[in-house]
Structure 1
Amino acid sequence: MTAKGDVVSRTEEFEELKPLLFSLSYRLLGSVAEAEDAVQEAWLRYEATPTRPRSPRAFLSAVVTRISIDVLRSARVRREQYVGEWLPEPLLTDPYEDPARSAELADSLSMAALLLLERLSPLERAVFVLREVFAYDFADVAAAVGRSEAACRQLLVRARNHIDSGRPRFEVDRQARDVLAARFFDAFRDGDVEGLREVLAADVQLVGDAGGKAPALSRAVVGVDKVARLLAAIFTRLARVGATLEQREVNGQPGAILRDREGRVAFTFALDVLGGQIQTVRSVGNPDKLRHLGPVADAWVLHREVKEAHGH
């Protein structure tokens, strides 16, 4: 039997490591709910282990990685059948804090970075995230994925080759980035087409993920004119039915939450900023991906209200 003191200290160890485990699993899965489930399952396995592991960090990281790899493999089929564009579940705050690497961690959390990881096999993704993002040594990476160190080095090379060509770049000057985002959201709120044009890149993309469960774009909208006009029209109409926009960091990048008149979450927005311009605007409206943020609006009702208000 496990001694009572052992249970207490195991609980304390787990609680201390939980932010790291969640952040690791979320980067592997792009899903808040699935990452939380993986972390909970890791705790159950840790609690059931008869002897205390030499390194709880290495043990729990390996367990959560293996669970996440299994989930990733089954998620592939679901994502192939997904209606419309697939985006990760929006995350407002990363619980794992490392002040020395905060900018780097925020960039690896971005929607652009997570979408790029989708190009990798589950094993490549796990090796890349463990080594490149969280700086695990190769011995721990190998133990986590059940491969030799030499095989993990090869997996990392393959992963880097897939990633490097499209590796997202972001505004280095975070203050300049945030000022630009504030200008964007002010123009968005005001329905100011010219104000939007000033901050959007010429080839800006507007991408929406509703999963067939909320009103959405049928495909990405590309180009400064189309995107500026569409965005300018959207919020002024929503404002008439009491919708509000709350600026928040989303996936480590500038963003916002759009709420209905009751304060329920309807959509999130995340911006990619580079070179003093907004390169991409990503919006998530699939209610299944918003539940962890609080009560979720019925986007279809909101859409109907907007149409009725505009008709009048």
Structure 2
Amino acid sequence: MTKAEEFEDLRPLLFSIAYRILSSVTEAEDAVQETWLRYAASDTEPRSTKAFLSAVVTRVSIDVLRSARVRREKYVGAWFPEPLLTDPYDDPARSAELADSVSMAALLLLERLSPLERAVFVLHEVFGFDFGEVASAVDRSEAACRQLAVRARRHMDEGRPRFEADRIVRNELAARFFDALHDGELDDLQDLLTADVTMVGDGGGKAPQWARTIVGADNVARILTSTMPWFFQIGGRLELREVNGQPGALFRDRDGRVLNTWSLDVLDGRIQTIRTVLNPEKLEHLGPVADPWAIYEEAKQARRPTD
């Protein structure tokens, strides 16, 4: 097998590691490409190509994350990861860890960790690398990595999100929610939300969004029924999609361009969190992106009474 073939076999794993460290599809893809360039230029013949490439992509990702954290401190409004519709890596033996770790809620928890803690947690807890492999990847001793893992696990356990375990149940609930959203049914929406549901959007100052986090079933339902029907009236549409492993939707304008993504956290038969990503820069990997301000103005015009 050639170097290129070995690399392509491992590309899904490398991307999945990088995405969980960086919370960015574009930065993860760049990290994987940089890993290939380093591997192609290297004369090293590693005993384990998987361990070698995983170490390289981890080091690249840590470097990128350290500079990205500075930018995120200056971010306008709520910051969310770039939405991921499909995780390319699948390992039946670790399906639970992989699914939990890619959710928006889990990635936001990972943001609280230092870059080293995050890398150690991702490699050991999510992908099951042993501490010898982790130590090689982050250039620390095994003892140090064990301590980093303990601290990271403690932070993650303190805020670990709880989700509806039954995929069929949560997908059915999401379908009912988006049907009610499309039809503007206030009572139906309220019935599907927890009493303390929260709704928050990431526009990054580059798209119209709610000025703050909206809390409470009544508040959320009323805002949605007063705004969303106009989006559909001007030709907007939605596609039910899984977003970061949770039920959600992809919203498009009348020409099929991507406007935003919604992801829903579901627990005990109701929706507890609604997260929307509206920042056009975070949606470019999903295809042509709509002009959110133009859609906002058109919907606002449609709401105005006519003589």
- With the shorter chain as reference, the TM-score category is over 0.9
1:72 shift after superposition: 0.7
Partner of 2:92 in structure 1? Answer: 99
1:133 equivalent to 2:132? Answer: no
Residue 115 (structure 2) aligns with: 122
How far the C-alpha of 1:283 sits from its partner, in A, is 0.2
Distance 1:112 1:217 in 2: 19
2:100 & 2:153 partners in 1: Cα distance?
A: 16
| CA-CA distance at 1:160 after TM superposition | 1.1
197, 201, 207: which is aligned to 2:200?
207
Equivalence for 2:54 = 61
Per-residue CA deviations over 1:89-127 (Å, capped at 9, x if unaligned) read 001000001234334312211000000000000000000
Deviation sequence 1:147-199 (CA, Å, 0-9, x none): 00000000011111111110011111111111111111111111111111111
Matching residue within 268, 275, 278 for 1:282: 275
Superposition deviation, residue 77 in structure 1: 0.9
User: How far is 1:310 from its partner?
Assistant: 0.6
2:64 corresponding residue in structure 1: 71
1:231 pairs with 2:224: yes
Contact conserved, 2:97 with 2:125, CA < 8 A, in 1? no
- 140, 152, 168: which one aligns with 1:175: 168
Render the CA deviation track for 1:125-149: whole Å, top value 9, x for unaligned.
Answer: 0000001100001000000000000
Q: How does 1:20-169 map to 2 (within 5 A)?
A: 20-169=13-162
Give the letter for the 1:156 counterpart.
A
What does residue range 252-267 of structure 1 map to in structure 2 within 5 Å? 252-267=245-260
Distance 2:109 2:95 in 1: 20
> Which has the higher mean CA deviation after the structures are superposed, 194-203 or 31-40?
194-203
**1:224 CA drift (Å):** 0.7
Cα distance in structure 1, aligned partners of 2:235 and 2:186: 21
Task: Please list every run of 5 or more consecutive structure 2 residues that lacks an aligned counterpart in the other structure.
Answer: none
The alpha-carbon deviation at position 53 of structure 1 amounts to 1.1
For 1:300 and 1:51, the matched residues in 2 are separated by 51
* Residue segments in structure 1 that go unaligned for 5+ positions in a row: 1-7
Match of 2:302 among 299, 309, 312: 309
Deviation at 1:56, TM superposition (A): 0.7
Aligned partners of 1:51 and 1:103: how far apart in 2?
34
Asked if 1:297 corresponds to 2:290, the answer is yes
Query: CA offsets, 1:261-299, max 9 Å, x none?
Result: 101000100000111111100000000000000000000
- Give the TM-score normalised by structure 1: 0.96
- Secondary structure of the 1:255 match is strand
Confirm or deny that 1:193 pairs with 2:186: yes
Q: CA RMSD in A?
A: 0.9
Is the partner of 1:93 in helix, strand or coil?
coil
- Superposition TM-score, scaled by structure 2 size: 0.98
CA distance in 2, matches of 1:102, 1:193: 37
Say yes or no: does 1:242 pair with 2:244. no
Q: Distance in 1 between matches of 2:226 and 2:241?
A: 22
Paired residues in the alignment total 305
Cα distance in structure 2, aligned partners of 1:207 and 1:295:
24
Following the alignment from structure 1 to structure 2, what is the Cα–Cα distance between the partners of residues 210 and 66?
30
Q: SS state of the match for residue 212, structure 1?
A: coil
Amino acid at match of 1:260: D
User: Which residue number in structure 2 is paired with residue 5 of structure 1?
Assistant: none
| Offset at residue 27 of structure 1 (A) | 0.5
Q: In percent, how many aligned pairs have the same letter?
A: 68
List 4+ stretches of structure 1 deviating above 4 A: none
Quote the residue 1:10 is aligned against.
Answer: 3
**Helix, strand or coil for the counterpart of 1:165?**
helix
